[in-house]
Chain A
Amino acid sequence: MHWPFCAAKCPYCDFNSHVHRGPFDEDAYVENYLTEISQTAELVPNRTVRSIFFGGGTPSLMQPQSVEKIINAISTKWQLSNDVEITLEANPTSVEQEKFQAIRLAGVNRVSLGVQSLRADPLAALGRLHSVEDAVAAVKLAQSNFDRVSYDLIYARPNQTLDEWRDELNEALDLAREHISLYALTIEHGTRYYDLFHAGKLAMPDPELSADFYELTQEICEARGLPAYEISNHAAPGEESRHNLTYWQYGEYAGIGPGAHGRLLIDGQRHATSTERMPFKWAEYVSAKGDGFVEFDALSRGEQADEYLLMGLRLKTGISPSRFEALAGQKLRQEQIDHLTEIGFVEILADGNLRVTDKGWPVLDAVVADLAA
């Protein structure tokens, strides 16, 4: 579920987010979600929904009753599993904290907070609207309201040192409970950081230092009982984000809302779908034809195999070579696996899965390219 609106655009963010000013009829806008849900349910009927994720944008800006309407629509059109995971992304400002209880009552049982840093200067530099105190308070309040809470931090920031990060991360892990996402700052095309970086005004760590950042992060989280189960995600055993696991395990998911992506199995054929990115244009499409799809492509075997590879190898559990073979219609190249094994970048697990080793993780994209080539 993609909610595209934000109170402000952060300089590093390349997500489909829009700052909307002026009159806005949220009830009317939410109707489009409900329409798109029914339409999608006709394409992929009789599914059991195991997770719902409200992402954005800033879905915590939604009114709790909007969240509730959407959850209700989903439960009407499909079957919700008993242990359904419903996550909502929230910003830790005081305004949003006030909504936590109502959001829980609407059916949300997990929140993911966009803390990003526990230091004042970087928060300001990252364009965040909350303070360190707001963030700490929000995490604690969320933890008392929801069974499961995660929050995000960004590291390997301009001018950040390893020592500073060690301290900040340790504090963060004191605060965290069962899940945390730790992202190395990435300069994305089309952001203000991109322009600054290319104008030489952003002192980003070089590849060596950013490799050190990554290693340090893994080391500390492991020691503190929140090992990585994915490149940037850490959880106590059993507390992984079920929703995100679906992406990485290359399962089936529907994307609702502007700029949302889906992978839908229709008559056994996997389709890649995406919707119009511009929020009001998307709404026009939905009112006119019932959905906002701008892409609806049957994926070839090779494309599915590539996606499985690049998503699946992000997980500590790796990929199943036999599933790869089933998708691709051919095996992974043994010669390539042997070479990568020999130089210590991949390994075969006891269950037969192929995974990237700890040494391989920081260079995952290169390993995937070698395997896919």
Chain B
Amino acid sequence: MTDLKHIRNFSIVAHIDHGKSTLADRLIQKTGGLAEREMQQQVLDSMDIERERGITIKAQTVRLSYKANNGETYVLNLIDTPGHVDFAYEVNRSLAACEGSLLVVDASQGVEAQTLANVYQAIEVDHEIVPVLNKIDLPAAEPDRVKQQIEDVIGLDATDAVEISAKTGIGIDDVLEAIVERLPSPIGDRDAPLKAMLVDSWYDAYLGVIVLIRVIDGTIKKGQKVKMMNTGAIYDLDRVGVFTPKLVEMPELGPGEIGFITASIKEVADTNVGDTITDAKKPCAQALEGFRPAQPVVFCGLFPVDANDFEDLRAAMGKLRLNDASFSYEMETSAALGFGFRCGFLGLLHLEIIQERLSREFDLDLIATAPSVVYELGLRDGSETQLHNPADMPDVMKIEEIREPWIKANILTPDEYLGPILKLCQDRRGIQTDLTYVGTRAMVQYDLPLNEVVFDFYDRLKSISKGYASFDYQISDYRAGDLVKMSVLVNGEPVDALSMLVHRSAAEARGRVMCEKLKELIPQHLFKIPIQAAIGGKVIARETISALRKDVTAKCYGGDATRKRKLLDKQKAGKKKMRQFGKVEIPQEAFIKALKMGDN
């Protein structure tokens, strides 16, 4: 066990691509956590998706041993926090497990919206923050301008910012010294009853659920009987240890230390991030503050392209949930898409990650319906209910009020793109709350309905700003809105997978775009097909697909039979992938593409 004075717990706050993982790798290398041959680029991001996208999904931790210039040896615990707002609560808990942060900013790119959101979170949990300018070796690096920006935008003193290049190794020693010199050591009472925070947990095929903890008071050791204060569950600890980043068992962990425990915990769902772990026989008086259970904010339906994959999909979701308790799913039936699941996610990135993991790790072809937010319905009879799926909307006559979630969005952009970005936000019912300039960059804050953001807002933002604008948001509150359910009818049959809740003012435009898209996406049939968008019984937009008039092979003789048969096979296979709506066959891509609506 290490005495408190020789412990530093820190995390790294950065925007995607600003070099957080590379810096972490360097720190591990420099302190000898891994031999050269064991270094794999970006050691901490262990999932393929994390490595490819340069983002962290699960919190990871590494314990470094560093002999400082003052001759003393320190334990440095780095928690690599998830870098995305979807995981805001996880980020908050990871940060709460540390006393300080390194704020890594790309010396050529400057501060981004995501950096801002994360650094504010670090400030909120009283972190000491050391600014670090990365990529200082690049010709485009402008350290002085970026320091100024850090001071102006974030309000941090950047005079002593550490200038580094994580890629080449410049300045890594200075970072280590700054951690020791400038970050506070943790405080805690070794003799008090055990109080530890559950920072994160994940499933390991060999060890079962691994729980990442930060010990606040007391000690935790192998064989100890511990209690999760929120769930009330009691476990005998099998192992206690740390990551160096290799898993190393320890006899015990004391106050200020960060490490892991394992017990016979079967599912990640049994462990709640933010829960307080205490001794079962001698519990601490009070649980830690700030605990809240994971709440999905975005829902969508996931359906197998091939109906035969349904059971595989169910199994895959079960496996994913083993490791990600914030993801929820329940069975859903759609006339359009057959059997599938209604799934809840922490946000859009979370949705994308789960979808990608299902297709990549489990080799499943999926159709996702339009993401929908969780609406609150106030009914005429005085009761309240939540709506996760537009298809389940009760009769409008029974509804007094529909409330939708709003977000506070931060957008940072080079000022030349500000005009179109403001228009985009206005079009999406946004309310501007702040607009400031930092040099040639504008920072604008908007209140936006989340419902408008889940509709490819981010893609639009990226495209109108040529990728330069950055965006981050936090859920703020629920507000009543004039929302209506828009249904889509193909050849007179409602297509449940395409129904959606929209603001009345946007319904007609959405309906028109949807009908136009479907007209492009549904192939011609032998008969003409009307496509309608409707609110209740009222048609607000319509298009017609004309009947197919010419589709015949002019020449077909003895030598063509084989080729034509093979073509017919392909056609049959294609038809199998279509969804039957009455007499109309709709290709699956049509659903996917129709649901990916742009602002065109």
User: Are the C-beta atoms of B556 and A363 separated by less than 8 Å?
Assistant: no
- Interface segment, A26-34, A254-262, A279-287? A254-262
The reply on B160 being an interface residue by CB < 8 A is: no
The reply on B537 being an interface residue by CB < 8 A is: no
**Would you list which residues of chain A between 349 and 373 have a CB under 8 Å from chain B?**
361-370, 372-373
**Given A211-B549, A363-B548: A247 touches B561 (CB 8 Å cut-off):** yes
| Chain A proximity of B590: nearest CB distance (Å) | 18
The reply on A100 being an interface residue by CB < 8 A is: no
- Interface segment, A36-44, A169-177, A302-310? A302-310
CA distance A330 to B531 in the complex (A): 36
CA distance A301 to B550 in the complex (A): 30
User: Are the C-beta atoms of A307 and B561 separated by less than 8 Å?
Assistant: yes
The reply on A137 being an interface residue by CB < 8 A is: no
| Chain A proximity of B376: nearest CB distance (Å) | 45
Instruction: Indicate with 1 or 0, residue by residue over A65-94, a CB within 8 angstroms of chain B CB atoms.
Output: 000000000000000000000000000000
Set of chain A residues within 8 Å of B558, measured between Cβ atoms: 246-247, 253, 255, 261-263
**Would you list which residues of chain A between 177 and 212 have a CB under 8 Å from chain B?**
183-186, 207-208, 210-211
User: Are the C-beta atoms of A363 and B551 separated by less than 8 Å?
Assistant: yes
Chain B: which residue is nearest A297 at the CB level?
B562
**Would you list which residues of chain B between 516 and 554 have a CB under 8 Å from chain A?**
525-527, 548-554
User: Are the C-beta atoms of A303 and B565 separated by less than 8 Å?
Assistant: yes
Which residue from A253, A262, A307, A362 sits with its C-beta under 8 Å from B552? A362
User: Are the C-beta atoms of A211 and B561 separated by less than 8 Å?
Assistant: no
**Given A186-B554, A260-B559: A368 touches B548 (CB 8 Å cut-off):** no
Set of chain A residues within 8 Å of B565, measured between Cβ atoms: 303, 306-307, 310
User: Are the C-beta atoms of B559 and A231 separated by less than 8 Å?
Assistant: no
CA distance A159 to B571 in the complex (A): 31
| A: interface residue count bin | 35 or more
User: Are the C-beta atoms of A207 and B550 separated by less than 8 Å?
Assistant: yes
User: Are the C-beta atoms of B572 and A369 separated by less than 8 Å?
Assistant: yes
The reply on A343 being an interface residue by CB < 8 A is: yes
User: Are the C-beta atoms of A366 and B551 separated by less than 8 Å?
Assistant: yes
CA distance A260 to B554 in the complex (A): 19
CA distance A55 to B564 in the complex (A): 19
Secondary structure at chain A's binding surface: helix, strand, loop or mixed?
helix
Which residue from A247, A274, A363 sits with its C-beta under 8 Å from B550? A363
CA distance A231 to B290 in the complex (A): 76
Chain B: which residue is nearest A373 at the CB level?
B575
User: Are the C-beta atoms of A231 and B526 separated by less than 8 Å?
Assistant: no
Set of chain A residues within 8 Å of B559, measured between Cβ atoms: 2, 255, 259-261, 274
| B: interface residue count bin | 20 to 34
Chain B: which residue is nearest A339 at the CB level?
B583
**Given A186-B554, A244-B557, A260-B559: A208 touches B575 (CB 8 Å cut-off):** no
Set of chain B residues within 8 Å of A345, measured between Cβ atoms: 526
| Chain A proximity of B574: nearest CB distance (Å) | 9
The reply on B555 being an interface residue by CB < 8 A is: yes
Set of chain B residues within 8 Å of A55, measured between Cβ atoms: 557
Set of chain A residues within 8 Å of B576, measured between Cβ atoms: 373
The reply on B568 being an interface residue by CB < 8 A is: yes
Set of chain A residues within 8 Å of B551, measured between Cβ atoms: 207, 362-366
User: Are the C-beta atoms of B527 and A365 separated by less than 8 Å?
Assistant: no
User: Are the C-beta atoms of A184 and B554 separated by less than 8 Å?
Assistant: yes
Set of chain B residues within 8 Å of A260, measured between Cβ atoms: 559
User: Are the C-beta atoms of B526 and A363 separated by less than 8 Å?
Assistant: yes
The reply on A314 being an interface residue by CB < 8 A is: yes
User: Are the C-beta atoms of A372 and B568 separated by less than 8 Å?
Assistant: yes
CA distance A55 to B568 in the complex (A): 25
**Given A311-B561, A343-B526, A372-B568: A186 touches B550 (CB 8 Å cut-off):** no
| Chain B proximity of A43: nearest CB distance (Å) | 17
The reply on A143 being an interface residue by CB < 8 A is: no
Set of chain B residues within 8 Å of A295, measured between Cβ atoms: 562
**Would you list which residues of chain A between 198 and 232 have a CB under 8 Å from chain B?**
207-208, 210-211, 214, 231-232
CA distance A84 to B575 in the complex (A): 43
Which residue from B549, B550, B555, B568 sits with its C-beta under 8 Å from A310? B568
The reply on A272 being an interface residue by CB < 8 A is: yes
User: Are the C-beta atoms of A186 and B549 separated by less than 8 Å?
Assistant: no
CA distance A306 to B562 in the complex (A): 10
**Would you list which residues of chain B between 475 and 533 have a CB under 8 Å from chain A?**
525-527
User: Are the C-beta atoms of A366 and B548 separated by less than 8 Å?
Assistant: yes
User: Are the C-beta atoms of A231 and B561 separated by less than 8 Å?
Assistant: no
Set of chain A residues within 8 Å of B564, measured between Cβ atoms: 307, 310-311
Which residue from B548, B562, B575 sits with its C-beta under 8 Å from A274? B562
**Given A339-B583, A366-B526, A373-B575: A263 touches B550 (CB 8 Å cut-off):** no
User: Are the C-beta atoms of A214 and B550 separated by less than 8 Å?
Assistant: yes
CA distance A92 to B575 in the complex (A): 44
Set of chain B residues within 8 Å of A207, measured between Cβ atoms: 548-551
Set of chain B residues within 8 Å of A307, measured between Cβ atoms: 561, 564-565
User: Are the C-beta atoms of B552 and A311 separated by less than 8 Å?
Assistant: no
| Chain A proximity of B585: nearest CB distance (Å) | 9
Interface centre among B552, B562, B583 (most CB of A within 10 A): B552
User: Are the C-beta atoms of A232 and B554 separated by less than 8 Å?
Assistant: yes
User: Are the C-beta atoms of A311 and B556 separated by less than 8 Å?
Assistant: yes
User: Are the C-beta atoms of B568 and A210 separated by less than 8 Å?
Assistant: no
Chain B: which residue is nearest A182 at the CB level?
B554
CA distance A247 to B565 in the complex (A): 14
Instruction: Indicate with 1 or 0, residue by residue over B346-369, a CB within 8 angstroms of chain A CB atoms.
Output: 000000000000000000000000
Set of chain A residues within 8 Å of B550, measured between Cβ atoms: 207-208, 210-211, 214, 362-363
Q: List 8 A-B contacts (CB under 8 A).
A: A231-B554, A246-B558, A262-B558, A362-B550, A363-B550, A364-B551, A369-B572, A373-B575
Q: Which 6 A-B pairs have the closest CB atoms?
A: A211-B549, A211-B550, A364-B552, A261-B559, A247-B558, A369-B571
Given A185-B554, A363-B551, A364-B553; 6 other pairs, CB 8 A cutoff: A247-B556, A255-B559, A260-B559, A362-B550, A365-B551, A372-B568
